[in-house]
Amino acid sequence: MGIKERKELEKQEMRKLILDTAMKLFLEKGLENVTIRHIAEKIEYSPATIYLYFKDKDDIIYTLHREGFEQLYKLQQTTLSIRDPLERLRKQGEVYVSFAMENPEYYDLMFIMRGPVRKIKEMKIKEMKEWDIGSRSFEFLRQNIKECMEAGLFPEADLDVAAFSVWAYAHGIVSLIIRDRCMMFPEDKIRHIVDEALDFMFGTMFDDKVKIKL
């Protein structure tokens, strides 16, 4: 068995190498400008080798897509140590925005690009379960907001609407930046505006008690 495991391990390492390299290149050159050849060159293997580890280019992209959600979910989990649900919610917002700003290509893949979604839709026909990964994160947010509501810390509203709203707000902020729609602001003021915007939402959204607390 030892030998089998070793093999398996090596295979996983190679996959990781390919994925990491692909991601690095995506970040550098943008998703649509990276070719299998680029990736192969960077890791100093032949293009054909890539196909031993991934079915095709979509497979790479989709795997990264899933890994992105894995990462994001883990980050979300870190907020669980916070007792107060509103504070936790806020922390979630921060975590979400940070993730997006630090991994814009992952974020793009997960929440903006068309390709992966198409892939998922195709898959859904065959294997219904797969998409859990994505909805899990939304569910997490939803639960958090539910707790807030139950604790009277959040305006009563349709839970789906509320969760979607909070998500949309955060998504709006980061996606405008990732897709470069903030040319009206000086480059160096952007990060500041992002942070302030997050505060602004929480500041105006909740009652005075909360505001002071924050």
Residue 99's binding partner among DNA, its own copies, none (Cβ under 5 to 8 angstroms by kind) is: none
Structure token digits, residue 174: 């980061």
179 binds its own copies (CB under 8 A): yes
Stated as kind and residue range, the H or E segment containing 164 is helix 159-178
Give the x-and-dash track for 129-148 against its own copies (CB under 8 A): --x--xx--x----------
Among 49, 63, 71, 165, contact with its own copies (rule: CB under 8 A): 165
Q: What residues line the site for DNA (CB under 7 A)?
A: 7, 10-11, 14, 33-38, 45-49, 51-52, 56-58
Residue 180's binding partner among DNA, its own copies, none (Cβ under 5 to 8 angstroms by kind) is: its own copies
Residue 49's binding partner among its own copies, DNA, none (Cβ under 5 to 8 angstroms by kind) is: DNA
- In the bound state with DNA, the residue whose beta carbon lies nearer, of 24 and 146, is 24
Q: What is the DSSP letter of 111?
A: I
201 binds its own copies (CB under 8 A): yes
C-alpha closest to that of 94 among 64, 109, 111, 72: 72
- In the bound state with its own copies, the residue whose beta carbon lies nearer, of 16 and 35, is 35
127 binds its own copies (CB under 8 A): no
C-alpha–C-alpha distance, residues 199 and 140, integer Å = 21
C-beta pairs of 14-23 under 8 Å, 24+ apart in sequence: 14/53, 15/53, 15/54, 15/63, 17/43, 18/43, 18/50, 18/53, 18/54, 18/60, 19/60, 19/63, 19/64, 19/67, 22/60, 22/64, 23/64, 23/105, 23/106
> First CA to last CA across the chain, in angstroms?
55
By CB under 8 A, name the binding residues for its own copies.
Answer: 30, 32, 111-115, 117, 120-121, 131, 134-135, 138, 155, 157-158, 160-162, 164-165, 167-173, 175-176, 179-185, 189, 193, 196-197, 200-201, 203-206
